[in-house]
Structure 1
């Protein structure tokens, strides 16, 4: 970029042209690239329904992606937890976690632990690989929210109904209450809570529209301010990138606040949001709110219908409304951490919303042409020759040099798509362990199910599915093996070879 600017300034000084005239080709090229990306790769938000996740007679109540979007946990109304491989959309593990519906889910940073909360007033920590319970805590009321510390999976943040939030240590077991010392705190309970990206602060929202920030280590209040509304804050969303938070309030307005503005505000002052979005036409209230990995778009789930509203955060423009089945009531919504995919939970069904994919082969091969009817292919001169006899000597030498290019397969560079602004600089923190004992857990290994039609033979005429082959099948196998000059089937004594005189 610096060299490009220097070339522009030299051109201005030498040819005496304006900067606007010099930058015009560069701006045109940039617009063409943006148009090419949008045409070939689509917009970065979902556009259509792409199916559902099969819960096998289970009714979903909430869902949560892991940090990379490779696995998704689904909590059901009967207390079961399902782990889906999002690539195959299949269940890789399931277990019974609680006696009543699961109300909240949270993944640890490395993806090896799953935190579940339920209406039965219990919170449990699970080993994802084994499906075993590591810790289980009992509380006084229903737990509405339970989240892991983003930087320490030994700490969990708990919010109970009509109780102050608390920060619990798992090993050794300890609990610290988060007290509210602001004026009128007795009548103003905490209704939403979240960690910031780096777990330096705790952000709480109250029933009267106040935002209170605490130090995550000392639990001392840092600052507090008020929204320009006294309505309850139902949810606080912290994006993966950017230094802002999103609040979902009872007054049907979704607001975006800069975290620095909250930290630097005078206690008790009104904090003006950077952006706000709302449904001006239908005046819909929002059951849940989520955002994409970049924080460019905001998705709001309506409480009255299965409708998802997608806005541009910076402009507040409504760009898409996704309508599900009529009569369904939304319970939860989650945006994929990397891809433009949204999961919505309504009436026990997990729906998957994705982009509208259109095949455009000419984007990958400019010479590709679509055929309306069969046509005879005309071979080009030297197209399938091993060596082009008409090529010049320099071209052959360059081809040999290109074949000798050294490819580095040892050093790894971090993929910027999989990284957010809260990632560490150490690339080893993203590398999984081959033994699956340490490091981040990207996928869950599963044992493939063997189709009875593809069962393998075992000694004695048995198969891997427990069946025994009939004498007719064995005779057919013997005949086929003799015809193909192959060894006899396993479990049968081979025939004696005849000597040819």
Structure 2
């Protein structure tokens, strides 16, 4: 399906909550590349995969060895695998289609964020950002790990002796470090507590460039746009910065290596900063100049036209949306539940936000219906306009020879097998094996089991806890509940309502001939239901 049909209003942003998803207590969310499936990590260690088209649960991944809360979920490039990190220091790689566990690795520290190598169809290498150490590259097959550098020691620069970068005892600070792959995984962008972005070669684990961030504050998030033209950073100084990515999408590591060889006028850290100035260029800064709030889970829209982030204030569910020029266009206010995760749909103008209560809210565009245009060629005017008619518009016999003939070849064969390339995906021709949907398996309905002995005393004694509504209703109305051994009930009294199974559906019994006769004498309607007390009184008087 063409992207113009999927998203006819390209560039629009969400405005209202359209729906919400709830399954256990979810802690983190992530879309696949097409936005057809939504993965969520739960508090009990399971991963739930939602079919975003039907808004139903397509599959649940559960491991008996992992019952700790999930901290992050990540899809592979073609959607066949999911990587989940948990608070028990584990990394688990799942097969989405089969629901089987492929690999499980236990690290020394809890991982806050894990990302798979994006260029591999069968991922074996991932990037993990622990809670209190430098990011590491982990081989999921062997379990080996490589620590990435977060600083460059240069004598005389004074960077390593900065008081903000050490504790009182001289030890380095323990702060979470942000890191991410570029599109093809040949470079890793690492942010440190000094306010620097280190560009590291993923093969040689060598720092190739340094990009200093103004202010020198801790970098909490690093996110690439979908088209890899922009890079977003969220710092501890309450400012979101967007940079232009000057490196090419393919062969970025080779291009960066050539820059390092050419730049010879500087040495050491100054050389790395000079190379970094050719990699990233500051484009725009986003902040709330009034409240100076901290930001959480910033990201780009699917078309990279909008920048969205959530407020990190306690108990607030606010989402801020800016355009690329820096103008704040919308503030979305959700329920009074703190927001912990946020994601924009890759193709559609939709946002999903995750609250601290574990509920996923879907924000969509609010469309206004207009029923004034009755004909396909009818155009509604908001104000009066001068109309200039055609020369032959009101002629009885218009000049049809001058009309432009439609150039349609009726004999041409229509190709219905070739799939058109989606402009939203640059490599859509290489994604034929992509997993977009999961097969559904219908579950047969379980027949309701009716009670074989509804008149037994044990059933009536336990009826208050087994869901019999007519006994509870009788107690609330102050009516007498007859025991099972009562002769009135044993005679099949017509006023008693029976319940089929435990589903709460009532079934009325046919009134007896005596009751119908009494109703006719008193002029009552036949549909009226007499109570048990009325039946007893009538029998006593008769």
- Structure 1 residue 99 and structure 2 residue 104: aligned? no
Contact 1:244 1:256 in 2 (8 A): yes
Partner of 2:366: 356
Partner of 1:170: 140
Distance 1:196 1:393, change over 3 A: closer
TM-score (norm 1): 0.69
Contact 2:134 2:177 in 1 (8 A): no
Alignment RMSD, CA only? 3.2
Partner of 1:60: 26
User: How far apart are residue 167 of structure 1 and its match?
Assistant: 1.1
1:176-196: per-residue Cα shift (whole Å, max 9, x none)? Answer: 221345132873666100001
Query: After the TM superposition, which residues 51-200 of structure 1 pair with which residues of structure 2 at under 5 Å, given as runs?
Result: 51-55=19-23, 58-97=24-63, 98-152=66-120, 153-183=123-153, 184=160, 187=172, 191-200=177-186
Query: After the TM superposition, which residues 148-297 of structure 1 pair with which residues of structure 2 at under 5 Å, given as runs?
Result: 148-152=116-120, 153-183=123-153, 184=160, 187=172, 191-260=177-246, 266-268=271-273, 273-297=282-306
Contact 1:42 1:355 in 2 (8 A): no
Partner of 2:441: 447
Query: Which of 334, 344, 354 is the equivalent residue of 1:345?
Result: 354
Q: In the aligned structure 2, how far is the partner of 1:195 from the partner of 1:42?
A: 27
Query: Which of 405, 408, 412 is the equivalent residue of 2:419?
Result: 412
Q: In the aligned structure 1, how far is the partner of 2:408 from the partner of 2:44?
A: 65
SS of equivalent to 2:178: strand
* More divergent stretch after superposition (215-224 vs 110-119): 215-224
Distance 1:416 1:138, change over 3 A: same
Distance 1:320 1:139, change over 3 A: same
User: How far apart are residue 102 of structure 1 and its match?
Assistant: 0.5
Unaligned 5+ segments in structure 1 are 1-36, 371-389, 432-438, 454-501
User: How far apart are residue 210 of structure 1 and its match?
Assistant: 1.1
Contact 2:105 2:143 in 1 (8 A): no
1:280-338: per-residue Cα shift (whole Å, max 9, x none)? Answer: 2221111210111221111011112100000012x110001100012x11100001111
User: How far apart are residue 141 of structure 1 and its match?
Assistant: 1.1
Contact 1:225 1:266 in 2 (8 A): no
Contact 1:242 1:295 in 2 (8 A): no
Contact 2:208 2:272 in 1 (8 A): no
SS of equivalent to 1:247: strand
1:334-389: per-residue Cα shift (whole Å, max 9, x none)? Answer: 0111111111011211100111123357789524699xxxxxxxxxxxxxxxxxxx
TM-score (norm 2): 0.64
Contact 2:94 2:101 in 1 (8 A): yes
Unaligned 5+ segments in structure 2 are 154-159, 166-170, 260-269, 381-396, 448-542
Partner of 1:6: none
Q: In the aligned structure 2, how far is the partner of 1:157 from the partner of 1:285?
A: 26
* More divergent stretch after superposition (439-448 vs 107-116): 439-448
Contact 2:109 2:130 in 1 (8 A): yes
Contact 2:135 2:177 in 1 (8 A): no
Distance 1:367 1:110, change over 3 A: same
For the pair shown, the structure with the greater C-alpha radius of gyration is 2
User: How far apart are residue 83 of structure 1 and its match?
Assistant: 0.2
1:200-237: per-residue Cα shift (whole Å, max 9, x none)? Answer: 21000112211101012211110113211122111110
Contact 1:361 1:368 in 2 (8 A): no
Partner of 2:319: 308
Q: In the aligned structure 1, how far is the partner of 2:25 from the partner of 2:242?
A: 33
Distance 1:102 1:363, change over 3 A: farther
1:428-477: per-residue Cα shift (whole Å, max 9, x none)? Answer: x222xxxxxxx211100011344579xxxxxxxxxxxxxxxxxxxxxxxx
Q: In the aligned structure 2, how far is the partner of 1:401 from the partner of 1:160?
A: 62
Contact 1:105 1:116 in 2 (8 A): yes
Q: In the aligned structure 2, how far is the partner of 1:369 from the partner of 1:244?
A: 39
Number of residue equivalences = 377
Contact 1:203 1:212 in 2 (8 A): yes
Partner of 2:339: 330
1:100-154: per-residue Cα shift (whole Å, max 9, x none)? Answer: 1110110001101000001111110001112111100001111111100110212
Q: In the aligned structure 1, how far is the partner of 2:102 from the partner of 2:361?
A: 31
